Amino acid sequence: MRFSDETLLDITKRFRAELTRGLGGDSNATASLKMLPTFVRSIPDGTEKGDFIALDLGGSAFRILRVKVSHENRQTVEMESETYDTPDEIMHGSGTRLFDHVAECLGNFMEKHKIKDKKLPVGFTFSFPCRQKKLDEGYLIKWTKRFKASGVEGADVVQLLNKAIEKRGDYEADIMAVVNDTVGTMMTCGFDDQRCEVGIIIGTGTNACYMEELRHIDLVEGDEGRMCVNTEWGAFGDDGSLEDLRTQFDIEIDRGSLNPGKQL
C-alpha cells in the first residue's frame, strides 16, 4: 500500500509520458489520457461583467447558479444557487429524460428568481469527457462516474439541452459555452488570481486541466498562443500501464463499479 519514493518517481515518469502521448496527433488515439482541447484560450483578466446562469451537471447533485459580476466602485460577484437531486432512474434512463430534467430544473430556477422573461447567457459545466471543435459544442465521448443515460454518447450535449428547452417553450436560454468542471474551477480561481493556470477536481471522480502552449497541441490547428487542455487523468492506467502496482483491493473495487476497467 505504501509506495517508495522510487516507485512514485517511476509513476510520475509514466504519467508524464502519457500526457505527451495524449497531446500527439499520431499517439492520441491509443493514449489513455485524452488531453482534450477545450477552446478556452485564456483565463479571465478581471474586467468581465454581466448577468449569467451557470449549470453544473456531473456529480451526485445538479446545481444552477445565477452570477452577477459588476464593477461599480469595486468588483463584486453576487451568486444565488439552488441544488437539485438527480435520481438514479434519471442518471440510468434515457438521455431525453435526463435533459428534460435539466430543462425542468432550469425552468423552476428561473421562475423562483423571477428571470423567466430574460434570455441570459448560460455556461454549461458538464463534467464528462467531451470532444469539442468549438466552445459551445461538446460531444460526449463516454459516461463516467455513476451516469449511464442512453443515447447521449457521441451526441452534442448542448444540442440535446437546447432541444429540451425548446420543447418546453416557456423560457429561452443562450448556451454560450460548455466546459469541464476542472476548467470552471480554474476560471473561477483565475478571476481572483491571474497566476492560476491549473484546475483540479477531487470529488466523485478526479481530473485536472491546465493552460498549454498551442504549439504542443497537435489536435488543434495553429501554434500561436495557448489553450486550456482537459487531461481526463482519471483514465490513467486504463491501458494496463499500472497493472504491476494495482492491489487485490483495486481490482475488487473496479469489478464492482458501473464501468469496470475504466477510470482506474
Name the strand (E) or helix (H) holding 129. Answer: none
Same domain, 112 and 204: no
Residues 150 and 213 in one domain: no
Q: Does residue 7 form part of some domain?
A: no
Q: What pLDDT does residue 145 have?
A: 84
CATH number for 157: 3.30.420.40
**pTM reported for the whole predicted model:** 0.86
Looking up cell 423562483 gives 112
Does residue 225 register a pLDDT over 90? yes
Range of the domain at 247: 17-38+199-255
Claim to verify: residue 174 and residue 54 sit in the same structural domain: yes
Same domain, 144 and 112: yes
For residues 144 and 234, is the Cβ–Cβ distance under 8 A? yes
Q: How confident is the model at residue 73 (pLDDT cuts 50, 70, 90)?
A: low
Quick check: 59 pLDDT over 80? Answer: no
pLDDT per residue over 144-199, tens digit each? 888 999 999 999 999 999 999 999 999 999 899 999 999 999 998 888 888 999 99
Break the chain down into helix, strand, coil percent, rounded to 5. Answer: 30, 25, 40
Examine the domain organization and report whether 169 and 239 are in the same domain: no
| Most confident of the ranges 52-66, 119-133, 152-166 | 152-166
Is 204 contained in some domain?
yes
56 and 175 in a single domain? The answer is yes
Is residue 184 assigned to a domain? no
Q: Is residue 169 located within the same domain as residue 203?
A: no
One domain, residues 59 and 165: yes
Please, which pLDDT band fits residue 228 given cuts at 50, 70 and 90? very high
Q: How far apart are alpha carbons 194 and 47 in whole angstroms?
A: 12
Share of the chain above pLDDT 70, in %: 99
Residue type, 81: S
Strands (E), the chain: 36-37, 50-57, 61-70, 76-85, 121-126, 130-134, 137-140, 174-179, 198-202, 206-213, 226-230
Alpha-helix residue ranges (DSSP H) falling in 150-236: 157-168, 181-192
Structural domains counted in the chain = 2
Length of the chain: 264
Is 233 a domain residue? yes
Which residue is associated with the grid cell 444540442? 159
Q: Is 111 part of any domain?
A: yes
Q: Is there a domain that residue 192 lies in? A: no
Is a pLDDT exceeding 90 seen at residue 1?
A: no
Side-chain-facing half-sphere of 215: CA atoms under 13 Å: 3
Same-domain status, 60 and 173: yes
Exposed, middle or buried, 213 (CB in 10 Å: 0-12/13-18/19+)? Answer: exposed
Q: Kindly tell me the burial class for residue 141, based on how many C-beta atoms sit within 10 Å of its own C-beta (0-12, 13-18, 19 or more).
A: middle
pLDDT tens for 35-50 read 999 999 999 887 888 9
In sequence order, what are the beta bridge partners of 125? 56, 179
Indicate if 57 and 163 belong to the same structural domain: yes
Q: What is the pLDDT of residue 220?
A: 93
98 and 174 housed in the same domain: yes
Q: Same domain for 77 and 139?
A: yes
The set of catalytic residues is: 145, 181
Report the alpha-carbon distance of residue 58 to residue 243 in Å, rounded.
Answer: 28
Q: Over the chain, what is the mean pLDDT?
A: 92
* Chosen domain end from 126, 144, 179: 179
Report which of residues 72 and 122 the model is more confident about: 122
From 121, 148, 179, the end of a domain falls on 179
Share of the chain above pLDDT 90, in %: 78
What region, left, alpha or beta, does residue 40 occupy, with left being phi > 0 and alpha being psi -120 to 50 degrees?
beta
In a domain, 222, yes or no: yes
User: Quick check: is 139 in a domain?
Assistant: yes
